[in-house]
Structure 1
Amino acid sequence: MSQSTQLSQTSQLNELTTLELAQALMERLSISPNDWHRLKSNRNSRANEQVAAAIVYLLKNQPQEAQARLEQAIGWLDRSISAPPCPTHGKS
């Protein structure tokens, strides 16, 4: 990547608010419906998703929501929580 390309990208990022950057990160790290079955038990992916959401809530001055997301992330990392079964499977 050339230096001018890096400067251009940095300039574009500087135009975004901190909240917009956090929301973009959250969107990037969110598990899409197409990837849900593949990643629903991936502890790193799930923790990433929750930490990014926590940052957004902190920036929106919603500390209780941020804390809940951080606790979820810790649960994924320390293996104290697991993915629930898919609601569309196993039904007769």
Structure 2
Amino acid sequence: MSKTTLSDQQPIDLQTAEPLALAQALANQLAIGPMDWHRLNSDRRIRAKEQVAAALVYLLNDSPEEALPRLEQAVGWLNRSIKAPPCPTHGERK
């Protein structure tokens, strides 16, 4: 399988695509969307994957200073030293 399609983008040829485009596609696929936030925000594996993918995008953009905190977050999720913050919308008065 050498091509993949993201729902909102053109097909990507995995053999010829630039690494940054591949990393961005991966980060988009692994990002937790608003509709899934409450269900997945405490899933350590999913959160770690999301952070590692984001870090890779920053590394490929020559921004290691932005990648490092995301890698640290990923490690924190995996070693259980961090936990999900409370939902920012809970407690809001409308």
Question: What CA distance in whole angstroms lies between the structure 1 residues aligned with 2:92 and 2:67?
Answer: 34
- Equivalent position of 1:3 in the other structure: none
| Larger Rg belongs to | 1
| TM-score (structure 1 length as normaliser) | 0.85
Q: CA deviation at 1:88?
A: 1.4
More strand by share: 2
* Count of matched residue positions in the alignment of Structure 1 and Structure 2: 86
1:34 aligns with 2:29: no
Question: What CA distance in whole angstroms lies between the structure 2 residues aligned with 1:83 and 1:62?
Answer: 25
| Residue ranges of structure 2 left out of the alignment (5+ in a row) | 5-11
Letter of the structure 2 residue corresponding to residue 79 of structure 1? R
| TM-score (structure 2 length as normaliser) | 0.83
Question: What CA distance in whole angstroms lies between the structure 2 residues aligned with 1:9 and 1:25?
Answer: 13
1:9 aligns with 2:37: no
Alignment of 1:19-30 (within 5 A): 19-30=20-31
Question: What CA distance in whole angstroms lies between the structure 1 residues aligned with 2:3 and 2:88?
Answer: 42
Question: What CA distance in whole angstroms lies between the structure 1 residues aligned with 2:38 and 2:78?
Answer: 19
Question: What CA distance in whole angstroms lies between the structure 2 residues aligned with 1:28 and 1:55?
Answer: 14
Moved over 6 A (4+): none
- Equivalent position of 1:84 in the other structure: 85
- Equivalent position of 1:49 in the other structure: 50
SS of residue paired to 2:27? helix
| Residue ranges of structure 1 left out of the alignment (5+ in a row) | 1-5
More helix by share: 1
